[in-house]
Amino acid sequence: MSIEPTTHPAATAGTVALGDLTVNRMAFGAMRLTGPGVIGEPDDPENAKAVLRRAVELGVNFIDTADSYGPEVNEQQIAEALHPYPDDLVIATKGGLTHERQGEWLRDGRPEHLRACCEASLRRLRVERIDLYQLHSVDPSVPLEESLGALTELQQEGKIRHIGLSNVDTRQLAQARNLTPIVSVQNRYNVADRHSEGVLEACEREGIAFLPWFPLGFGELTHGAGRIAEVALAHGVTRAQVALAWLLQRSPLMLVIPGTSSLEHLEEDVAAASLELSANEFADLSRTARAGL
């Protein structure tokens, strides 16, 4: 049993600001629409487009992608499914990681590479300006000021509206903020994996949106026994919905981007925006060790 969606269920979780943009906090991560290992086309390309269209119908107005998803495939899927885009739809993409083989993600933060990535993303997404462009990962072989300098130049040229970061620590976030305005951070984070708690707290202090990737972990939060299962049973919902609701209640700056290639799971994920955990449930989940979830 899952929550019955309202007309636009994604909107029930409230909104968060990305600079001068405002988006619903229940969003969508498009990475899982690619083929196995985030390489190539999926087995059913039309289903991938249907999922994207349904997400927008449910009130999702923020979609996260990257040039390395596919690679290139994910951005092309979004354009094929949704262009011309609704006026309020924000598509965020990333550059700075390459992914040509399964399991191999390589950092490349060279200014010339980031410029080429951004301009190629503009063409694939069929836009003149990318609303949110995120540095996918800091490249230890390239000074951060050089990588962000390239994005700032692209911003000044009107090709990027806002700049975000991904996979950073608190020191890198502080360094970046001294170089250019940062409106978002995307790090791995969920109820069972809070390694980025310090980064989230820094974002809360500075009013920066926080996007938790792998909000359901590696799938371990969607099955099994434990406190999440107990809360799910009490509300008549799924474990995934409880894990997503916990994230939404954890911080008003949380912009949640669950991803799926299933229309059924998409409906369930977005409906989690309507689930309100009690204070005791939220506290229990917040202090429960990973092994006990």
User: CB neighbours of 280 closer than 8 A, spacing ≥ 6?
Assistant: none
Catalytic residue among 69, 85, 133, 189: 69
Look at residues 28, 17, 62 and name the one whose alpha carbon lies nearest to residue 182: 17
The two tokens of residue 136 are 């996918």
Q: How far apart are CA 148 and CA 165, in angstroms?
A: 10
Q: How far apart are CA 113 and CA 182, in angstroms?
A: 20
- The question of whether 69 is a catalytic residue gets the answer yes
Active site members: 69
